[in-house]
Amino acid sequence: MGLQLKNLYDDFRNAETIKAYAKIIKEDAKKLEKSINIMEVCGGHTHTIMKYGILQLLPQNVKFVHGPGCPVCIMPKERIDHAYVLAMLEDVILVTLGDMIKVPGSRGSLQNARSKGADVRFVYSPLDCLQIAAQNPSKKIIFFAIGFETTTPMSAALLNAVVGKDIKNIFFHINHVTVPEAMAALLSDTECNIDAFLGPAHVSVISGSKIYEEFPKDYAKPVVVSGFEPVDVMQSISMIVKQFVERRCELEVEYKRAVIREGNLKAQELTAKFFEKAQNFRWRGLGDIPKSGLRLRDTYKDLDTEVIYKDILPTQEINDHKFCICGDILKGKATPSKCVIFGTVCKPTTPIGSCMVSSEGACAAYYKYGNL
């Protein structure tokens, strides 16, 4: 009766295991010929690194540079303006995921639009749009879809339901992006200081580890696909350091309990049914990255708000605030503490840049867990 079930995460947050890996990393790091900079692509890793004090556990010659982080962080202001314009239409209910509500565009955030009377709702699952549409048959439900490979299948599942049930009042604004193209763009920068990558966990569950095979082969950059728990991250760092010590350059998977090479084939098939590569997508802070975004296939253009509302959606590209360095943070060239407005003008309650507004952004992590 008094028996307590062990927490599923206990082994992956065990302090002694974390310290043991820290000791192994420090011993191996003594054999390094130079300092190495590891980029964690995903904001989930950034928050684990900050929350559990992993930076303080590493030797001085093993460093982290923070990457693109999350779909909210890289969303350019002009696309947020698209959401704002659509939300302000009288017959529209605009639906999106979590943090998008607070991200400021040039006209304000979706939260600002809601304060002016717009019907803006956030959901945990795109499929919640089905109930909203059923309850509001006279309204146009626009799903502002965001996310890396992780959430794209959920948008595809909603599309599948809309098409299969012939639902007439759900429409889409697609802002899905893909990780490998952004990684390649970062490495093409002449000021790049990335020596290795922590591959994102949940993205890899869907797409498989195969999407990173080009980086050791073509760019001579090791990739270790890592889970999000602190033991995962420490083990992954150890694997990267060992590669440098042993003069190897490989793709390895630490997160073997969830990631296989081929990924989730059913999710990939559903995604391919509705989406194709867009010619270009502009990433906030990173600029235009060819083939890094998805668009609805022409078969489904009647559901595409970028086609339906083409004449009223703004087209001008809009840059960040002149004091905001989110671009350099997303490229791994700077840390949040280097920003002159970090924690003063720019903080979670009054965010200036996307890295602060997103719960997975690097600035939000530094603000929450410590300014280092």
Number of structural domains in the chain: 2
If you average pLDDT over residues 319-334, what whole number do you get? 82
pLDDT score, position 365: 86
Same-domain check for residues 137 and 173: yes
pLDDT score, position 4: 53
pLDDT score, position 7: 74
pLDDT score, position 371: 53
pLDDT score, position 220: 97
Q: Which residues lie across from 58 on neighbouring strands?
A: none
Same-domain check for residues 301 and 335: no
Quick check: is 99 in a domain? yes
d(CA 7, CA 85): 46
If you average pLDDT over residues 252-264, what whole number do you get? 97
Task: Compute φ and ψ for 199, nearest 5 degrees.
Answer: -75, 140
Name which of 300, 361, 360, 299 is nearest 325 in CA terms.
361
Q: By mean pLDDT, which of 75-89, 234-248, 332-346 is the weakest?
A: 332-346
Quick check: is 36 in a domain? no
Mean pLDDT of the residues in the chain:
92
pLDDT score, position 3: 46
Quick check: is 84 in a domain? yes
pTM for this prediction: 0.91
Quick check: is 214 in a domain? no
Phi-psi domain of 31 (left: phi exceeds 0; alpha: psi -120 through 50; beta: other): alpha
pLDDT at 1 over 50: no
- Domain extent, residue 356, equals 329-369
Quick check: is 203 in a domain? no
pLDDT at 342 over 50: yes
Q: How confident is the model at residue 352 (pLDDT cuts 50, 70, 90)?
A: confident
Same-domain check for residues 110 and 153: yes
Quick check: is 303 in a domain? yes
Quick check: is 112 in a domain? yes
Chain segment 49-95, per-residue pLDDT in tens: 999 999 999 999 999 988 887 888 888 999 999 999 999 999 999 99
Chain segment 155-186, per-residue pLDDT in tens: 999 999 999 999 999 999 999 999 999 999 99
What CATH number is attached to the domain comprising 85?
3.40.50.11740
Same-domain check for residues 171 and 106: yes
Quick check: is 22 in a domain? no
pLDDT score, position 323: 86
Burial of 65 (0-12, 13-18, 19+ CB in 10 A): buried
Q: By mean pLDDT, which of 17-26, 174-183, 269-278, 358-367 is the weakest?
A: 358-367
